Structure 1
């Protein structure tokens, strides 16, 4: 009897535990899903804010969302499209055929947005008209005319994020919880009389999350104003350029801009789109280009660190150098004569760098130093479009010589900015980041964005030596190629670059400048690329100077919330 009692108690206990487990599953683990299903059964709803915001480092929206109202239409409660169109035309003053076209673009019995983009006055008129099954609801346009960093943020369509951070963080930005406009129905799907259309909050599901970037909105706007006012290098084509502004202390990307510009509401998708021939959707700040002479400090660093060259050692530049029947000429007719490494950097002497790279270093040591500077791999800031560039493996003499003065490899402006920040940081590549944090609905950081780790690239004393040598490039009283990059009142240092590229239309020269400012206690590292811009000491150097002046004279970017430089 006792054994039977224990068995019976055990059976009841097991059943009770099963019931408890089932209740826990329904009320805890699956509660959001079940609540969502219940809400879907009793109402037909449209979400008011399906995506989170993209904010700058101080929490300011970068997409310039515009206050607009849209018309929500619930066909089950409304009359025919023609009747609704006539009623909306009376309320707003827009022609009925325009409204009819908007309404007929949507098929099916489910609710939809008419895509009207009303201002406050017509929206109030629609509300006052009390049209059955129709409501005018605040629904801001995501991208306004002042939207910044468009190549960084990208754009979104009905399928989700298609470019930039909109694509890379699509899962975080979109959500299905939060405020909706809804009509209530019974178990058969028929509308419940008397309830009409109203705003409701749907707590179940995933809320849209926002992302906070390291970009400074004011700095970004200043850089883009300068680019928009900059004349293209030649007629018949828009400006094709990129600017990256980096804080060398924290590694934060403060501004990243690319041109040509595009409209995120009407992106030029497809070869027949206006301006598509100029690749306006390409983010040139993370696209690969030959660096030309902005790569020479890397070669100089390899030479000093390995002891292949002494800091004050003289070289002879006759203006030409022949390897295996291939003759290289220096941009300066007749050459530079007797010149040191510092002078070769200041005057961008190709022949000296051929002597250093080909005669002293060789391929392996140049490439090893380039990899330590971050070239050949993506920086890793969370953008799918970011290229890793290309490091060759030259073995023939002419190829090794070209590598020594920055030809034959591909780098991105972002990689160049990070490499030059390492010279400011005594040889340490800073931990570069673009997305500071993913934010919850209340603005609380849920997790940090990807950030490239800080790694040593160069011995501190060598980095300091190269940094001192690059001061001679921009010295306004010297003979360096980068004097146009000197920032009055602040100073600067850096390197120009003129990269030759063979295109179907012939040989073109891309213009580069990379450097930092102020000269003492640098706060900004700036990398500039202008496609077909010619000599780097002209277009890119001048553009860098204007960017630096705009940012420094305005007080410079402000620290991010909760982040110390």
Structure 2
């Protein structure tokens, strides 16, 4: 008997514990963690409301990007007809609405009868059409400004993408998520400017129309549609870039016409050092999030473009480059080049124009013998090592950077490499360990064209409130560190012009353009791709124009391509020709 009583007591205790756990769980769900349930930070109230609410989002509340003239780059507003499904059960003047829209009522009926949630119907409306429709005051039928993604957006890798990332959301906005100000599922910037400027762009509140429905989708509290939206006149903000969307679109088209698969182009305004256009390939695959990286910010093997650094060092070092000639039948290892590559005896200027490897390998070894760090010094003076994008303190953001994940240049992987003759020669022609970003190369050309003045590259001019007032302006800033002398810049400009003007110059193709171009070509052999020796190369052309009164600096690079199919020079030619047609 005693054992039976004990078993009953035991069972009752277990049941009480289970009931206590259940009550605790109910309290957690109903009272305690209603807006931040579980590690997923689920807003239970919001989820519950969504189950019995149909809504039409007019604006997601996220800040947007514009070009330098205020042209939308990511989203735009359109006047559209918004219709809620419950109108199917109503009698309303659909013939009148169809007439205003210049449709037939049958066409309108066909579109509405398939609705099971609020949707946009028909084409863009004029302001007069919208005014006439709204004057009818039909429940569930509205002519409103609706946010719409820009079709085929330009500068997609530069602007970047957004997406849901609960881990990053929790880490970056933990307090706002815990306070219920943001949902754990709020899209955030994943790459590009969307990521760099995310804390300015994150939405305060969506603007939407909503109504409550029963389990069959019918109106729960009548047919009144409610509007909810941010009442703040300052948000969301817009980020005004320095991009010229017209030039950007033309540059995008040129790359696509020439089927440049991997690489891209950077166009800078030399006076302001702002990005006028920047495009990267491959295109972004939104479904798989591939192609997201901006190749213009990733260090690449530059090939002979790097000879510009060696030339700058040679001009200043005292090495005699005026009277000497160099045996350009030889390669950097003092062996005979293939017959097609032999150039004979050339002076320093002709060596630069025809891109003689022997000359620059020889000169580099002589300079390093006198000063072991001379290549590093001039790479830094020309801005090829450290990031060149705008950075500085912005409000409470210390060392804010406009460019997301801009890479640093590399000259040597190991200090000892700079003491070996073979490695020095390879470095002098932009091979071996050398890696620089196309943005930094464009900035180098702009620096030379300005007479040696180094500036940070801006891609965003300002952040503006919704009412048009300015929240913050990114002022031009100098790039820190030593720079080349004006005399050195003058000599470099002469060498860069000769690359195009010389009868055998590697840029002679550009002689037929309407304006004179100065620049440097580069061909970098990419060995051991997937463990095999291949003929894969990086093909560059970097320069500025018009040569005598520089306005633009331009870099085009075709990465990991076969030498017989590279369109680099054709792309460079067409971009210049677009800006300065004959």
**Same-fold call, TM > 0.5?**
yes
Q: What is the aligned partner in structure 1 of residue 544 from structure 2?
A: 516
Q: Which runs of 5+ in 2 are unaligned?
A: 1-48, 95-105, 164-185, 214-218, 391-401
Offset, 1:261: 2.2
Moved more, 378-387 or 515-524: 378-387
Q: 1:262 aligns with which of 284, 296, 302?
A: 284
Does the 8 Å CA contact 2:81/2:122 hold for their aligned counterparts? yes
**Secondary structure at the residue paired with 2:580?**
helix
> Is structure 2 residue 302 aligned with structure 1 residue 291?
yes
After alignment, is 302-311 or 416-425 more displaced?
Answer: 302-311
Q: CA RMSD in A?
A: 3.9
Asked if structure 2 preserves the Cα contact closer than 8 Å seen for 1:417 and 1:526, the reply is yes
Q: Hey, what does 1:385 align to over in structure 2?
A: 405
Asked if 1:496 is matched to 2:506, the reply is no
Report the equivalent of 1:465: 491
Determine the C-alpha separation between the residues in 1 that align with 2:335 and 2:354: 17
Equivalent residues of 1:134, 1:197 under 8 A apart: no
Q: Please say if 1:370 is aligned against 2:379.
A: yes
Which of 421, 445, 452 aligns to 1:420? It is 445
Tell me the distance in 2 between the aligned counterparts of 1:47 and 1:439.
23
Superposition pairs of residues 120-269 of structure 1, within 5 angstroms: 120=124, 137-145=144-152, 147-157=153-163, 158-176=186-204, 180-181=208-209, 196-199=224-227, 202-204=230-232, 207-232=235-260, 239-262=261-284, 267-269=286-288
**Separation in 2 of the partners of 1:218 and 1:405?**
36
Distance between the aligned counterparts of 2:335 and 2:225, measured in 1? 76
* Superposed displacement of residue 540, structure 1: 1.9
In 2: Cα distance, 1:523 partner to 1:315 partner: 34
Q: C-alpha distance in 2, partners of 1:535/1:176?
A: 51
Residue of structure 2 aligned with 1:60, choices 67, 71, 75: 71
Which segments of 5 or more consecutive residues in structure 1 lack a partner in the other structure?
A: 1-39, 104-113, 186-190, 233-238, 271-275, 555-565
Equivalent residues of 2:331, 2:357 under 8 A apart: no
Distance 2:445 2:56 in 1: 49
CA change 1:353–1:203 in 2 (3 A) is: same
The answer (yes or no) to whether the contact 1:342–1:470 under 8 Å persists in 2 is no
Q: What is the deviation of 1:63?
A: 3.0
Residues 317 and 335, structure 1, Cα contact 8 Å, conserved in 2: yes
Give the conservation status (yes or no) of the 8 Å contact 2:268–2:554: yes
Aligned partner of 1:402 among 426, 431, 448: 426
Looking at structure 2, the residues matched to 349 and 464 of structure 1 have their Cα atoms a distance apart, in angstroms, of 21
Q: 1:352 aligns with which of 344, 359, 364?
A: 359
Distance change >3 Å, CA 117–CA 437, structure 1 → 2? farther
> What's the CA shift for 1:311?
4.0
Residue aligned with 2:373, SS: helix
Alignment of 1:520-559 (within 5 A): 520-533=548-561, 539-553=567-581
Task: Quickly say closer, same or farther: Cα 1:467–1:316, change in 2 above 3 A.
Answer: same
Aligned partners of 1:484 and 1:538 also within 8 Å: no
Q: Of residues 472, 482, 507 in structure 1, which corresponds to 2:507?
A: 482
Q: Does 1:48 align with 2:55?
A: no
User: Cα–Cα, structure 1 residues 70 and 227, in superposed 2: closer, same or farther, change >3 Å?
Assistant: farther
8 Å Cα contact 1:64-1:148 kept in structure 2:
no
Q: How far is the alpha carbon of 1:47 from its aligned partner?
A: 5.9
Distance of aligned partners of 1:133 and 1:66 in 2 relative to their CA distance in 1, 3 Å threshold: closer
Determine helix, strand or coil for the equivalent of 2:78.
Answer: coil
Q: Residue 281 and residue 309 in structure 1: after superposition, are their counterparts in 2 closer, same or farther (change >3 A)? A: farther
Deviation at 1:439, TM superposition (A): 0.8
Alpha-carbon distance in structure 1 between the residues aligned to 2:297 and 2:140: 48
SS of 1:429's equivalent in the other structure is: coil
CA apart distance, 1:141: 1.5
Compute the displacement of 1:181 (Å).
Answer: 3.5
Output the TM-score relative to the length of structure 2. 0.70
Are the aligned partners of 2:160 and 2:195 in contact in 1 as well (CA < 8 Å)?
Answer: yes
CA distance in 2, matches of 1:287, 1:492: 26
Whole-angstrom CA distance in 1 between matches of 2:404 and 2:141: 41
- Alignment coverage as a number of residue pairs: 464
* Residue pair 1:222, 1:551 contacting (<8 A) in 2 also: no
Superposition deviation, residue 73 in structure 1: 6.8
Query: How many Å separate the matches in 1 of 2:191 and 2:332?
Result: 46
TM-score by length of 1: 0.72
Q: For residue 93 of structure 1, what is the aligned residue in structure 2?
A: 110
Is structure 2 residue 123 aligned with structure 1 residue 119? yes
CA distance in 1, matches of 2:468, 2:336: 59
Q: Cα 1:334–1:417, aligned 2, differ >3 Å: closer, same or farther?
A: closer
Report which stretch shifted further, 170-179 or 53-62: 170-179
Q: Distance in 2 between matches of 1:480 and 1:551?
A: 23
Is the 1:183–1:198 contact (alpha carbons within 8 Å) kept by the matching residues of 2?
yes
Residues in 1 aligned to 2:68 and 2:381: alpha-carbon distance in whole angstroms: 29
